[in-house]
Structure 1
Amino acid sequence: MTSTTILFPAARSAHTSLGRRLALAWREARPVVQLVFLLRFAAGAALGTAAGTHGAVPRPALLAAALGWLATTWAVYLLNGVADVVEDRANGKARPIARGDLPRRPAVSIVWALSAAGLGLAMTVSATQFLLTAAMLGVGWAYSLGPWPLKANLAGFVAAVTALGLLTYLAGWSAAGGGRLTGPVFLFGLMMSLWMGFGGSTKDLADAKGDRLAGRKTLPVLLGDRQARVVMALAASSVGWTFAVLCAIRASGILPAAAVVFAGSAALSVTVLTSLSRGGRSAERRPYRVFMVTQYCAHLTLFGSLWPGSPL
């Protein structure tokens, strides 16, 4: 034990408590989701840079924008954890807030701090970045809270999740200098955001019990398990086909990424329509895991396609 610990035990305890709460808040915000949001932000920046619509961007500004966006998405998903505690407990999710490891009041305080950090960092970059960050926080709040949270019905879920994706790609594009919004930037951002909205709905298969208890009108609650799976397969397939065809016609530079989404949509359809996703909770989450892996692979493929001099 150090002399500092002996002299200031309360300060050390408070520091440890804050560090633990931040760690729990990070786990609540689902690190795998936070990483894919950073990939979306980086994709927007990379596509804007590859299109050559602006000059060189100062690295400190781009770093500040990325850190600010990370704080913002962390705040949005932590707030969602606060709002979803009833559903999470009913569905047996082992998240910190649902388990009681992270009390809701400290979690809300962290949400406020992260939101302020996100807005503050965005303000140092540009007015556009600040407005995009404010919009992201607004959509996140409307998704989880308010008199009619968007998460409570299918249309609201798809609209909100798609908007969160679009805002992230636009934030990356803006942070890298903005300029003219080219076809590849718009097409990749739109189709990957629609993939979020449609493919992301597969998480509801494993959450039907809690969603029904909370009064949420998800596909499995509205249509039943069997018909919901058919709709999910059709929706995911429509994104895969549309993305591939449009890229083949208008944006061959991002066609490899579109091919990954097309393959992922086929894999998701097979998984959601067969016994591969029936049984326990782990099996029911397989379509969602296919959805997430597809996102990661599509973005990594995009970055591999955007070497200097690559046509868009």
Structure 2
Amino acid sequence: MSFVVESIAHELDVFLGVTWRDWSTTLIPGSLFVLSALRELPFTEAIRNYLLLVLWLSLFLYFFNLSNQITGVEEDKINKPDRPIPSGNITMAGAQLRWFIAFSAFVGSAAFEPTLLPAIICWVATTASMVLTPGGGNWFWKNTVSMTTGTWALFQASWRIVAPMTLKMETYIYAVAVWTGLNMQIQDLRDIKGDRAIGRSTLPVVVGDRASRIIMAFVFMPMAVYVLHISGILQLAPVTLGILHIALVYRVLHMGGPRYDHKTYMFFTYIFCAVIALAGNEDIALDPVWRLIDRVVGQGDTKVCA
């Protein structure tokens, strides 16, 4: 019994070591996205669907991260030495076995829910292009293209596990996917040293640290905000999203070192969670800042009228 418990504990430790950095871009936003849809279901069905969602998102993340970390050990030795492979917590053979199991379970999930097949194919193809082709080392393909398709796959499947797809939700998913791809260059600001060492052509490596920040802040981010605007997501919380994006621009432009840049990337993932939560829950999406302003202005008008 103790052996079984220790084995389970070890596998959980490995899973956490492989995935924890990316929960704020997969497990958490995927859960936030479907809250309103879950509220419409009977309690037992909602619990069942949510557990299936968490399982699918875990496989989605585990498969991708193992693929990335198996092929990126040298980079991780520099940028993220605490990960299971470079730290020695698991062997390369052990990582490959876990990858095979995760991949098989992920692809096999289509047998239980055929509507997930397009998202599964999309994510497998995206992952393969990132770890098996030169595109994985190019800033445009790695971030703008792959993270757009990956985000689409993530939320397409998340919604379909819980509820039928609608045209409006499809539009929101496409918008969030493009918004993500435009902003994902931010993640490379923290890893310049490791990326340069292995010859990866990220935007900061190609054009320089400062120039890349200017491009992100004044080209990609305005484009991303415009995508939210034309899709209708920005209108759900214009003041809050506006403030968050301005804060993100400030952090991107401030050259505070790798640790600061990592916190900036994490701040971006929190905005990512907020954006997808608004998209999936527009019936309860209320802009807290806008409501406060409206309340203050309303009180002021009342006093004047009095």
TM-score higher than 0.5 here? yes
- For residue 116 of structure 2, what is the aligned residue in structure 1? 129
1:169 to 137, 155, 158: 155
**Structure 1 contact 68–118 (Cα < 8 Å) conserved:** yes
Q: Check 1:256–1:122 CA distance in 2 against 1; reply closer, same or farther (3 A cut).
A: same
Tell me whether 1:37 sits opposite 2:26 in the alignment: yes
Tell me whether 1:262 sits opposite 2:242 in the alignment: yes
User: So what's the TM-score if we normalise by structure 1?
Assistant: 0.77
Tell me whether 1:154 sits opposite 2:175 in the alignment: no
Q: Check 1:289–1:41 CA distance in 2 against 1; reply closer, same or farther (3 A cut).
A: closer
**Structure 1 contact 65–129 (Cα < 8 Å) conserved:** no
Tell me whether 1:287 sits opposite 2:276 in the alignment: no
Tell me whether 1:138 sits opposite 2:122 in the alignment: no
- How many pairs are equivalent? 282
**Structure 1 contact 132–167 (Cα < 8 Å) conserved:** yes
Q: Check 1:210–1:149 CA distance in 2 against 1; reply closer, same or farther (3 A cut).
A: same
Per-residue CA deviation, residues 260-293 of structure 1 (Å, 9 max, x unaligned), is 443332211111112xx323x2123232122112
- For residue 225 of structure 1, what is the aligned residue in structure 2? 209
**Structure 2 contact 24–270 (Cα < 8 Å) conserved:** no
Stretch of structure 1 that moved more, 210-219 or 168-177: 168-177
Give the 5 Å matches for 1:201-280.
201-234=185-218, 235-243=220-228, 245-247=229-231, 251=232, 255-257=235-237, 260-274=240-254, 277-279=255-257
CA distance in 2, matches of 1:92, 1:110: 20
CA distance in 1, matches of 2:64, 2:88: 20
Q: Check 1:61–1:286 CA distance in 2 against 1; reply closer, same or farther (3 A cut).
A: closer
Give the letter for the 1:110 counterpart: R
Stretch of structure 1 that moved more, 98-107 or 260-269: 260-269
**Structure 1 contact 72–137 (Cα < 8 Å) conserved:** no
CA distance in 2, matches of 1:150, 1:240: 26
CA distance in 2, matches of 1:65, 1:300: 16
CA distance in 2, matches of 1:124, 1:223: 46
C-alpha displacement of 1:151: 2.2
**Structure 1 contact 264–294 (Cα < 8 Å) conserved:** yes
Q: Check 1:78–1:92 CA distance in 2 against 1; reply closer, same or farther (3 A cut).
A: closer
Give the letter for the 2:261 counterpart: E
- For residue 27 of structure 1, what is the aligned residue in structure 2? 17
**Unaligned residue ranges in structure 1 (runs of 5+):** 6-11
Give the letter for the 1:25 counterpart: F
**Structure 2 contact 115–160 (Cα < 8 Å) conserved:** yes
Per-residue CA deviation, residues 20-48 of structure 1 (Å, 9 max, x unaligned), is 1442233212x252353234444665677
2:6 to 13, 16, 37: 16
Q: Check 1:138–1:58 CA distance in 2 against 1; reply closer, same or farther (3 A cut).
A: farther
Q: Percent identity?
A: 19
CA distance in 1, matches of 2:238, 2:90: 40
CA distance in 1, matches of 2:69, 2:223: 30
User: So what's the TM-score if we normalise by structure 2?
Assistant: 0.78
Give the letter for the 2:268 counterpart: F
C-alpha displacement of 1:223: 0.2
C-alpha displacement of 1:141: 2.5
**Unaligned residue ranges in structure 2 (runs of 5+):** 286-306
CA distance in 2, matches of 1:258, 1:36: 22
- For residue 298 of structure 2, what is the aligned residue in structure 1? none
What SS does structure 1 have at the residue aligned with 2:82? coil
Q: Check 1:34–1:133 CA distance in 2 against 1; reply closer, same or farther (3 A cut).
A: farther
CA distance in 2, matches of 1:61, 1:303: 16
Per-residue CA deviation, residues 115-142 of structure 1 (Å, 9 max, x unaligned), is 22223333212x2213422331231222
**Structure 1 contact 74–114 (Cα < 8 Å) conserved:** yes
Q: Check 1:93–1:176 CA distance in 2 against 1; reply closer, same or farther (3 A cut).
A: same
Give the letter for the 1:200 counterpart: M
Stretch of structure 1 that moved more, 231-240 or 296-305: 296-305
Q: Check 1:132–1:82 CA distance in 2 against 1; reply closer, same or farther (3 A cut).
A: same
CA distance in 2, matches of 1:15, 1:47: 37
